[in-house]
């Protein structure tokens, strides 16, 4: 991608965030989220290996339901399914790379920005029945596009601590509905 294109996309995103006026989530509101994510880079500190999207491209779909237990603070659960797009999985690996439950707490600290601390229990990783545990801090912006409907952009830093130590960077985009 050309630097001019990257600068244009970044400027458009900043402009949209600065012009947005977030719909206030209040205590008692529910938030339903539908998100797509892609790991940009990972560093497996146990194996001493770094992987980027040029090595393997996986697409994650996440569906979640969250409850605002106080103004601006939420707790929730998401379900993640990750599929291998490229290259074709090898050996006994499946195209279904990961299944995970993601309990989390979130905070809308300065509209439209939010932060979340996410735990991850994945009974399936690396295309096999390999369980894993991780913690994933995230930061992003929820940009309103209609009444109680937002488009979200976020970055997440997943740290897997069992069975291996893996640090990564994941980009996320999605929609969320307040009800």
- pLDDT (tens digit, 9 = 90+) per residue, 141-160? 999 999 899 999 999 999 99
CA dihedral 34, 119, 84, 46 (to 10 degrees): 160
Rounded Cα gap, residues 85 and 73, in angstroms = 35
What is residue 18's predicted lDDT score, i.e. its pLDDT? 42
How many of the other CB atoms lie within 10 Å of CB of 153? 16
Rounded Cα gap, residues 131 and 120, in angstroms = 10
What is residue 48's predicted lDDT score, i.e. its pLDDT? 96
What is residue 152's predicted lDDT score, i.e. its pLDDT? 96
Q: Residue 128: give the domain boundaries.
A: 3-178
**131 prior amide bond cis, ω within 30:** no
Specify the length of the chain in residues.
Answer: 179
25 within 8 A of 72, measured Cβ to Cβ: yes
pLDDT in tens, the chain (179 residues): 556 665 655 555 544 444 444 456 789 999 999 999 999 999 999 999 999 999 999 999 999 999 999 999 999 999 999 999 999 888 888 999 999 999 999 999 998 999 999 999 999 999 999 999 999 999 999 999 998 999 999 999 999 999 999 999 999 999 999 98
**Could you give the number of structural domains in the chain?**
1
How many of the other CB atoms lie within 10 Å of CB of 49? 11
What is residue 16's predicted lDDT score, i.e. its pLDDT? 45
**CATH number for position 174:** 2.40.160.20
66 within 8 A of 33, measured Cβ to Cβ: yes
What is residue 2's predicted lDDT score, i.e. its pLDDT? 58
């Amino acid at each position: 991608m050309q630097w001019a294109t990257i600068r244009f996309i970044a400027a458009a995103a900043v402009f949209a965030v600065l012009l947005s006026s977030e719909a206030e989530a209040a205590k008692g509101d529910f938030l339903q989220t539908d998100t797509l994510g892609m790991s940009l880079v990972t560093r497996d500190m146990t194996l001493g290996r770094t992987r980027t999207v040029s090595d393997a491209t996986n697409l994650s779909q996440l569906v979640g339901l969250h409850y605002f237990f106080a103004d601006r603070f939420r707790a929730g659960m998401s379900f993640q399914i990750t599929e291998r797009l490229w290259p074709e999985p090898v050996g006994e690996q499946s195209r279904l790379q990961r299944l995970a439950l993601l309990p989390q707490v979130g905070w809308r600290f300065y509209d439209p920005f939010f932060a979340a601390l996410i735990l991850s229990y994945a009974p399936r990783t690396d295309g096999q029945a390999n369980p894993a545990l991780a913690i994933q801090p995230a930061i992003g912006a929820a940009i309103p596009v209609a009444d109680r409907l937002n488009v979200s952009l976020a970055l997440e830093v997943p740290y897997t601590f069992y069975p291996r130590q893996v640090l990564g960077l994941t980009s996320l985009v999605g929609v969320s509905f307040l009800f």
